[in-house]
Amino acid sequence: MERVIIFDTTLRDGEQAAGGTLNTKEKLESAKQLARLGVDVIEAGFPIASPGDFEAVNLIAKEVRSPSICALARAVPEDIDRAGEALKEAAHPRIHIFLSSSDIHLVYQLKKSRQEILEMARNMVTRAKKYTDDIEFSPMDATRTEPEYIYQILEAVIDAGATTVNIPDTVGYTIPDEFGRLISGILKNVPNIRQAVVSIHCHDDLGLAVANSLEALRHGARQVECTINGIGERAGNASLEEIVMAIKTRHDLFNLTTNIDTMQIYRTSRLVSELTGFMVQPNKAIVGTNAFSHESGIHQDGVIKMPITYEIIDPKMVGISASSLVLGKLSGRHAFKERLAELGYSLSDEDFSRAFAVFKQLAEKKKTITNKDIESLVAEEQRTVSEIYHLDRIQVSCGDRGIPTAAVRLIGPEGQVIADAALGTGPVDAIYKAINRLVGVTNKLTEFSVKSVTEGIDAIGEVLIRVESGGITYTGRGADTDIIVASAKAYINALNRLLTTKKTTE
Ligand code: KIV
Ligand code: ZN
């Protein structure tokens, strides 16, 4: 079977999704998990875009050694040089150059002729070759470009040394049959095409990104660009987990394989959702909460008798724990460690000890601890690692007669204990005002939502918030059996991310 190269762009196109900003540490953590998942290429960012992006690409290039690390660049010298600089220490560096090719973009945006574009593309690929042999070129908006012009550009860039040519459906406009024909046309009409890998990059504006990608693979493309949970600009990108599992489940049809360790899919999906603050819809294929739950009696009966009756994928194959046994206050370190491993976590000894202590505290309050509780508590613990401000204590008084009042105590950046109190229109407002008095960063709360992790009155409540500051949106999350405490944790989490990003930019 031929192998498909999995190019993950969660940290570049995925992070371009409105409100999905990640800081350097979060990008590095995601990149390490993507390496565990087995992706071949990680597009780590767009170094010219900001100092933070440069730093993230640079750090990932230093620390994540097995996949190729790719940096994005426009077809201009400054971008290429900045990308080359960011990748200096990469084990396998790749520069990805993009340049619009459709007349719509040429006339209205770039105001350049086709000939000028062709020259720019050729020259910039030649320039990028100074930094690495591994060069990818994308004619942006390819699906709205006249195919004959794409053939010309591809021939020119391959001639200049491009080793991968990527065909982006930038605005999610194409449909499977048309896209398949475009890929066949490229393979047939570009004379030097065998010297490069043909890649595809589909957006989901018409809900067809995965279908289009799969059709392109059937027509000879051998690299697919995708993101975890399908996150990305506007309606998102093609979802990695759906493409990989389609290829695997229907190998009879595709006769293709990938390097992905599918057991890491669920864990990667949870991590990306956790860090970006984008929840996965319950009915999302492969990784949604309902993807493997059977409600109808007839289906349940079938699955009990033989899972294959209504399940085309064994949930264990994507890393969803087979064990539905709940843990409780009598469960020991060993049982907890085993369950963490089943859920795909590999914590350091120190992180494990902290997580176990929190597990024990939770078991005192909550009779049964499910897998979802464990995921939530580990995520909460990881959020508190290297915080700038840490929530130490909180006390709230509220009700329909009194004035909502909150007293908050934080541990500050130098380990100092700071405390203050405030009145508000409700308990959360009072807490946020008290925290604002202590931290003193201007921001606007733009989103607040609360949900319970499991059913039952003693469930953990998870709060997700978004705050805006200086035109950037920051996400914060907090979990606790007390939703007022969870709200405070979420706000501190958002402020810590805001402060970390500001520090990096400065
Ligand atoms: O969608 C797109 O065209 C892109 C390019 C940079 C490849 O993301
Ligand atoms: Zn894109």
Instruction: Report which bound ligand comes closest to the CA of 164.
Output: 1
Q: Which residues contact 463 (CB under 8 A, 6 or more apart)?
A: 448, 449, 450, 477, 478, 479, 483, 486, 487, 489, 490
User: 311-368, pLDDT tens digit by residue?
Assistant: 899 999 999 876 666 788 888 899 899 888 888 788 889 999 999 999 999 999 888 8
Is the Cβ atom of 138 under 6 angstroms away from ligand 1? Answer: yes
pTM, two decimal places: 0.88
- 2-249 is classed CATH 3.30.1360.20: no
For the Cβ of 201 lying below 6 angstroms from any atom of ligand 1, the answer is yes
Q: Residue 325's pLDDT is what? A: 67
Q: What is the pLDDT of residue 160?
A: 98
pLDDT at 20 over 80: no
Ligand 1 pocket: which of 94, 110, 170 to mutate (most atoms <8 Å of CB)? 170
* 140 touches ligand 1 (CB under 6 Å): yes
| CB 246 near ligand 1, within 6 Å | no
Question: Ligand 1 within 6 A of 98 CB?
Answer: yes
Q: Is 93 in the pocket of ligand 1 (CB under 6 A)?
A: no
Domain-by-domain residue ranges, the chain? Answer: 2-249, 390-505
Nearest-10 Cα torsion for 312, 317, 319, 323: 80
Residue nearest to atom 3 of ligand 1 (CA): 170
CA of 17 to the centre of ligand 1 (A): 13
Task: Name, in order, each residue with C-beta under 8 angstroms of 435's C-beta and a sequence gap of 6 or more.
Answer: 408, 410, 488, 491, 492, 495
Write out the two tokens for 165: 């040519």
Of 32, 6, 2, the C-alpha closest to 259 is 6
To the nearest whole number, what is the mean pLDDT of the chain? 94
Residue of the nearest CA to atom 4 in ligand 1?
170
The tens digit of pLDDT for each residue in 144-188 reads: 999 999 999 999 999 999 999 999 999 999 999 999 999 999 999
Lowest mean pLDDT among 58-62, 287-291, 292-296: 292-296
Among the atoms of ligand 1, which is closest to the Cα of residue 237? 1
Among candidates 318, 319, 316, 313, which has minimal Cα distance to 346? 319
The 3-state DSSP class for residue 483 equals helix
| Shortest-distance Cα residue to atom 2 of ligand 1 | 170
Ligand lying closest to the C-alpha of residue 168? 1
**Pairing of the two strands 135-140 and 444-452:** unpaired
Nearest CA to ligand 1 atom 1: 170
DSSP letter string, 56-81: HHHHHHHH--SSEEEEEEESSHHHHH
**Which residue minimizes the CA distance to atom 6 of ligand 1?**
98
Tens digit of each residue's pLDDT (9 = 90 or more) over 123-152: 999 999 999 999 999 999 999 999 999 999
**Residue from 8, 9, 13 to probe ligand 1 pocket by mutation (most atoms less than 8 Å from CB):** 13
Q: What is the distance between the alpha carbons of residues 250 and 370, in angstroms, rounded to a whole number?
A: 33
Residue from 153, 201, 227 whose mutation best tests the ligand 1 pocket (most atoms within 8 A of CB): 201
Percent of the chain with pLDDT over 90: 77
Radius of gyration, alpha carbons of the chain = 25
Looking at residues 214-232, what average pLDDT do you find?
98
Instruction: Look at ligand 1, atom 8, and give the residue with the nearest C-alpha.
Output: 13
218 pLDDT band (50/70/90 cuts)?
A: very high
β pairing state of 223-226 and 197-202:
parallel
- Give the residue from 380, 502, 382 showing the smallest Cα distance to 439: 502
Distances (CA, A) of 26 to 33, 52, 113, 185, 497: 11, 12, 41, 41, 10
Domain 390-505 has CATH 3.30.160.270: yes
By the 8 A CB rule, do 177 and 208 touch? no
- E strand map for 214-341: 223-226, 256-257
Tell me the range of 21-25, 26-30, 303-307 where mean pLDDT is highest. Answer: 26-30
77 C-alpha vs ligand 1 centroid, how far in Å? 19
Atom of ligand 1 nearest to the CA of 9: 8
Confidence of residue 296 (pLDDT cuts 50, 70, 90): confident
| Ligand 1 atom at shortest distance from the alpha carbon of 203 | 1
Residues 155 and 190 sit within 8 Å (Cβ to Cβ): yes
Question: What whole-number distance in Å separates Cα of residue 22 and Cα of residue 236?
Answer: 16
**What is 79-130 written as a DSSP string?**
HHHHHHHHTTT-SSEEEEEEEE-SHHHIIIII---HHHHHHHHHHHHHHHTT
